[in-house]
Structure 1
Amino acid sequence: MRWLIAILIVFLIALQYRLWFGEGSVAQKVELEKAVAEQQAINQQAEARNQAIGEEVKALKNGMDAIEERARSDLGMIKEGETFYIVVEKDQDKKDDDK
């Protein structure tokens, strides 16, 4: 009878070790849940970015206003008959030299 109890205790310890430290343990489950949460956050950011890009593509395909805005901001283009002004500020070094 003592042998049976000793064997059962050894099995219990082995199972407890596997539960807490082995493959598929509680600690591993917590790590995997954390990794899933991080990946979901990354996916949400990517989804928002993709949606914004999709809306921009749709606007560029459908309207001339979006194309004009893009040409003005990225390429510095101006319309015929418009006057382009550029404001140049003095450098801080020049201000110090003037004193």
Structure 2
Amino acid sequence: MGQRVVPAILITLLVIFHAQLWWGRGSLPNVAQLTQQLNAQKELNQQAQLANDQLAAEVRDLQEGLEMVEEKARMELGMVKPNEIFVQFARAPAPAKAR
């Protein structure tokens, strides 16, 4: 009987470790899911970093001079200085093609 106890214990431990590998905390599916979440979060962080860098450059431009303020006012608000004439060009419609 003593000869059967040791292999039975070893097999039981092997089954427990194998079950832990597939269904326990830190299992292979769990690690794959966490890796996928990590990659998605890294992508979101990269997009947020690009937006932050763009905003930081815009703030730096606004702090350095009024050219950026004037450009934004002209483009977004339609600012025209005194004694300036606003001219807007419209494209002519493309001629119809004959069949």
**Fold equivalence (TM over 0.5):** yes
Matched, 1:73 2:71: no
C-alpha distance in structure 1 between counterparts of 2:20 and 2:43, whole Å: 31
Supply the RMSD in Å over aligned alpha carbons.
1.7
Matched, 1:51 2:53: yes
Q: Report deviation, 1:15.
A: 0.8
C-alpha distance in structure 2 between counterparts of 1:60 and 1:70, whole Å: 10
State the Cα deviation string for residues 20-54 of structure 1 (Å, max 9, x = none): 22111122112112211111111111111101101
Tell me the TM-score normalised to structure 2 length. Answer: 0.78
Higher helix proportion: 1
Equivalent residue letter for 2:40: E
Tell me the TM-score normalised to structure 1 length. Answer: 0.78
3-state SS of the aligned residue for 1:72?
helix
Matched, 1:31 2:33: yes
C-alpha distance in structure 2 between counterparts of 1:88 and 1:54, whole Å: 35
Q: Report deviation, 1:85.
A: 3.9
Taking every aligned residue pair, what percent have the same amino acid on both sides? 36
Equivalent residue letter for 1:81: N
Match of residue 65, structure 2, among 63, 66, 70? 63
Moved over 3 A (4+): 85-89
Equivalent residues, number: 89
